[in-house]
């Protein structure tokens, strides 16, 4: 007797048939996609609830269908006939334990980052989810990803919220699921072995690497890929060429999970450095330097590895602009020497540097140009203006570069700033900086004046939007509308995030520094 297959509840009043995925006489199994439909909210595939041979198709492409519409007729398989099914059921009762409904907690797996932010929740309480169905989306420092369900069942509680920061092991949700019975004795069909899975994973990795190498060249025609409209929509969202994706569905059909796995592997390949071709770069050369002479390998310190990763990220992701100018510090340097001589007589232990005076001038300039003291929001749609001024000072230590932060520079005088800077520099060189000492900065100063050089391109310390580089002071001839006179000039290199700061504001900030440094000098003279 033929089996009628009806359209299940699809959550909408009506939908259009966009594709018929089977033909008359074709053998289908349970969960084999039968048709693709598209409604107001989503496109989806309708799977078969039964196995059998397609006898008659009752709808056509373009038809409008709704819940309970007759889709097609199936002739049941011989092994599914009632007498055999009953026999198998009796046999199964003897061999299988009765399934139990249990509560299952789902936790965030290891995502390769210390902390990620929940950006989207794809399910609601009461939803029925399947294994590998996405339940939440998260975003970390390296990538954004969907977290799939490890079990099938009904959602009874969601334990996270959008915008929440979570880490590996945090409970995401709770579901009711069926505890499957032991079917080892009944099901003798060969399962996917670890060896087969490893072979499939290796094959996928090679496939992704090969397709990445094609980027920028000839793109194969993805119109011939065997995929439904919903899968094609997902591929378009991720920019995936379906011609490069291997389908795991029936007859090589590409399903949603194939696209998701392809994207995950592509991200892994690019982030691990397995291939640089995805960015249009040549692969990093693997050179045996010993062929040219004697070598020695030295491990990078933890600080250098962390700093290197942050600098690389900031340089690649932030559109840098660097502007150069000079600051006349002739009178300020003379005042500094005078003040230091006075402090030496008092044996106060205070020794002023030009850096401290520049810090105070920078704080005043930041208050006059608030965007330079801001951060770009994560969605890049707004800037966060900070009412405080915390300046990071790049310090070179035996283990690498660190940036301790002097807090509330705008509220402190030069004596207090000198003490703070001295204490932080000592802690940095002794490796005793705490988390509070290196966080919360709003702007950074990198001073190479003690080492030399005339200018450089400092890299912005994200999420800040600006950094000021200072080089070695030098006596230069400066025209004073009458003659050339020798002036002590301090070279400045200002790098800023061009998404937040335009060229005019960059110049304005350097001009403000020339004004505020005079104000700092006058305040020192008045003390």
Q: What is the pLDDT of residue 190?
A: 43
Q: How many CB atoms lie within 10 A of CB 457?
A: 13
Residue 172 in tokens: 């995401």
DSSP 121: E
Q: What is the pLDDT of residue 465?
A: 97
Q: From CA 388, how far away is CA 373, in angstroms rounded?
A: 8
Main-chain phi, psi angles of 28, to 5 degrees: -125, 155
Torsion of CA 73, 79, 84, 90, to 10 degrees: -110
Give the mean pLDDT of 228-255.
78
Listed residue (57, 20, 21, 16) closest to 38, CA to CA: 16
Place of tokens 């699921």: 177
Q: From CA 308, how far away is CA 306, in angstroms rounded?
A: 5
pLDDT band at 141 (very low <50, low <70, confident <90, very high): low
Out of 6, 151, 410, 498, the active site residue is 498
Interacting residues of 305 by C-beta distance below 8 A, sequence separation 6+: none
**Which domains does the chain carry?**
3-76 (2.40.50.100), 229-271 (4.10.320.10), 321-526 (3.30.559.10)
Asked whether the whole model's pTM tops 0.95, one would answer: no
> If you average pLDDT over every residue of the chain, what do you get?
82
Q: What is the pLDDT of residue 213?
A: 47
Interacting residues of 436 by C-beta distance below 8 A, sequence separation 6+: none
Give the mean pLDDT of 54-67.
88
Interacting residues of 398 by C-beta distance below 8 A, sequence separation 6+: 429
Q: Give catalytic status of residue 498 as yes or no.
A: yes
Give the mean pLDDT of 43-72.
87
pLDDT tens-digit profile of 465-520?
A: 999 999 999 999 999 999 999 999 999 999 999 999 999 999 999 999 999 999 99
Q: From CA 362, how far away is CA 353, in angstroms rounded?
A: 15
């Amino acid at each position: 007797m033929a089996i009628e297959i009806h359209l299940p509840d699809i959550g909408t009043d009506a939908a259009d048939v966009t594709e018929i995925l089977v033909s008359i006489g074709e053998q289908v199994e349970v969960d084999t996609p039968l048709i693709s439909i598209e409604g107001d909210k989503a496109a989806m595939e309708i799977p078969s609830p039964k196995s059998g041979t397609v006898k008659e198709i009752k709808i056509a492409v373009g038809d409008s269908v709704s819940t309970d519409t007759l889709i097609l007729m199936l002739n049941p398989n011989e092994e599914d006939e009632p007498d055999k099914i009953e026999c198998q059921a009796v046999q199964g009762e003897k061999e299988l334990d009765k399934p139990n409904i249990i509560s299952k907690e789902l936790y965030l797996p290891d995502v390769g980052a210390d902390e990620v932010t929940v950006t989207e929740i794809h399910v609601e309480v009461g939803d029925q989810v399947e294994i590998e169905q996405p339940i939440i989306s998260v975003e970390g420092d390296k990538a954004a990803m969907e977290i799939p369900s490890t079990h099938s069942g009904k959602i009874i509680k969601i334990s996270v919220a959008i915008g929440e920061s979570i880490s590996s092991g945090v409970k995401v949700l709770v579901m009711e699921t069926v505890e499957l019975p032991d079917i080892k004795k009944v099901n003798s069909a060969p399962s996917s072995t670890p060896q087969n899975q490893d072979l499939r994973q290796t094959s996928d990795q090679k496939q992704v690497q090969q397709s990445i190498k094609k980027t920028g060249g000839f793109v194969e025609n993805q119109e011939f890929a065997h995929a439904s409209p919903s899968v094609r929509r997902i591929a378009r969202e991720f920019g995936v060429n379906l011609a490069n994706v291997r389908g795991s569905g029936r007859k090589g059909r590409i399903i949603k999970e194939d696209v998701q796995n392809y994207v995950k592997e592509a991200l892994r390949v690019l982030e691990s450095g397995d291939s640089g071709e995805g960015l249009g770069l040549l692969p990093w050369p693997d050179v045996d330097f010993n062929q040219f002479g004697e070598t020695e390998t030295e491990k990078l310190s933890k600080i250098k590895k962390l700093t290197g990763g942050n600098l690389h990220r900031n340089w690649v992701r932030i559109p840098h602009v660097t502007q150069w100018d000079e600051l006349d510090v002739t009178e300020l340097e003379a005042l500094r020497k005078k003040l230091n001589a006075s402090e030496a007589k008092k044996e106060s232990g205070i020794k002023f540097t030009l850096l401290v005076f520049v810090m105070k001038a920078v704080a005043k300039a930041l208050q006059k140009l608030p965007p330079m003291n801001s951060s770009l929001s994560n969605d890049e749609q707004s800037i966060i203006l900070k009412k405080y001024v915390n300046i990071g000072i790049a310090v070179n230590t035996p283990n690498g570069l660190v940036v301790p932060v002097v807090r509330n520079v705008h509220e402190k005088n030069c004596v207090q700033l000198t003490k703070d800077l001295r204490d932080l520099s000592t802690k940095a060189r002794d490796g005793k900086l705490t988390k509070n000492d290196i966080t919360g900065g709003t702007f950074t100063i990198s001073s190479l004046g003690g080492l030399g050089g005339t200018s450089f391109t400092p890299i912005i310390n994200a999420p800040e939007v600006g950094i000021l580089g200072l080089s070695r002071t030098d006596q230069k001839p400066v025209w004073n509308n009458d003659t050339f006179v020798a002036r002590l000039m301090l070279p400045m290199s200002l790098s800023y995030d061009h998404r937040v700061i335009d060229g005019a504001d960059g110049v304005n900030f350097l001009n403000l520094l020339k004004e505020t440094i005079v104000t700092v000098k006058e305040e020192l003279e008045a003390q």
